[in-house]
Structure 1
């Protein structure tokens, strides 16, 4: 584990050097991120012009959930989204052979080799929105609230990583990846609001069929003191299952991969 942490730090350093070559883009990216989060807040306010609660959640609670959503979105765009199209290019051009010969786990390499640093702006803005929501709610999380929040947010990150790896791995058979990206984005958009606002089969599907409830709703609930031990354990268990599936699917794809040199 320590070895892979050192490798990730080297990825971090080299990608940061590349990003610093285009410093003029920082201001434009900052304004874009600010505009995006302002639009999201305005959308929430429009909902609350018509009601006092959204799925049983007050305005401040939804702001906290939206902040967590924005933070996760920033992490996706920072570490995962830059690598997905590159895997398709590796497979098409045969350069995946060079990846497989490196003395490092290939799944780790293809999913974290390239980092998009300016998307960390979204992470900071999301964190700031979460803090603002707590202030608006006049609520200070207890030690247990924070502990359960970190457990559930780490589970959410592992689930997201596993889902992206499952999508990335289909590049061994699928030519167009844009449709798969759209599919994931549509799914992730459902976590922008409390899962309790969905009704009927949609709520059942997002809770039991797809792990949407564990991505933003469970961490936000934990942070505002609505944590549940069983739900927290379940989120960790679901995360490990999805990671195992992603790992097995990756190994299956490699076993069926016809390299450029064969």
Structure 2
């Protein structure tokens, strides 16, 4: 792909999405209320757990608070980019509008990934980073360029992993009709990322590290920020992300070869 061409196109799509979203400004305030209520409920749940114990899976309350911030920021990315875009792949294939996308002078996966960006869930992302900042102050963490850079790298791996998983699931719509149900399964599994992967034991922990890698999504970024990330965990994050992104791209290319045009 041509990097500068696609970067320019991404900026144009972002501006277009903002213009479209500004028609419904009340969504901004509704999303703030929804985000605040969701975070407050999550904090109350944590308080209930920590009234019974000082640690969860070896993580203190402040460390889990960092993880919760990462989860909230990732959830904002889902609502901003993934759900409004990749979630529409099924509709495009059913209605035949996917043909029009294939005719555009742009990579179809790129276009379907970024055409509709919902601006309002940025509040989830900002509040998530706000929780991380509050936890850092409470823990007395010395924020350095190194730990911020490592955190952003791990958080980026989490975003890419989340994107790849969603892309793989929705690409199945080229062969199956009722793949929307998989999004509910995805959402249920994603909820497990609210807690560190160390909470889960045995085979379930392996599953949530390598198959549905919630460790890569939230545990490793949070550990990177608090200084608890090991080089082994960082390597696992990079490998899992690279494999999933590659599989998602190859799976998409394979699906295109099997696609039957609605006009044919």
Q: By the TM > 0.5 criterion, same fold? A: yes
1:143 deviates by 2.8
Contact 1:83 1:112 survives alignment (8 Å): yes
1:5 deviates by 1.1
1:236 deviates by 1.4
For residues 49-128 of structure 1, what are the structure 2 equivalents within 5 Å? 49-128=51-130
Partner SS state of residue 67, structure 2: helix
1:91-137 Cα offsets, whole Å, 9 max, x none, are 11111111011111100111111111111110011010111111111
1:231 deviates by 2.2
How many residue pairs are counted as aligned between the two chains?
A: 262
TM-score in terms of structure 2 length: 0.95
Partner SS state of residue 49, structure 2: helix
Uncovered stretches (5+) of structure 1, i.e. residues with no partner: none
Contact 2:210 2:240 survives alignment (8 Å): no
Partners of 2:27 and 2:143 lie apart in 1 by 37
After TM superposition, where is structure 1 displaced by more than 3 Å over at least 4 residues in a row? none
Contact 1:148 1:227 survives alignment (8 Å): no
Partners of 1:157 and 1:25 lie apart in 2 by 24
- The corresponding residue for 1:131 is 133
Contact 1:55 1:196 survives alignment (8 Å): yes
Contact 2:157 2:237 survives alignment (8 Å): yes
- The corresponding residue for 2:157 is 155
Partners of 2:210 and 2:95 lie apart in 1 by 39
1:250 to 245, 249, 252: 252
- The corresponding residue for 1:201 is 203
The worse-fitting range, judged by mean Cα deviation, of 74-83 and 133-142 is 133-142
Partners of 1:151 and 1:125 lie apart in 2 by 19
Aligned-pair Cα RMSD in Å = 1.2
1:167 deviates by 1.1
Partners of 2:121 and 2:149 lie apart in 1 by 26
Partners of 2:87 and 2:238 lie apart in 1 by 29
- The corresponding residue for 1:38 is 40
Partner SS state of residue 153, structure 1: helix
1:148-178 Cα offsets, whole Å, 9 max, x none, are 2122111111111111110110111222233
TM-score in terms of structure 1 length: 0.96
Partners of 1:236 and 1:94 lie apart in 2 by 37
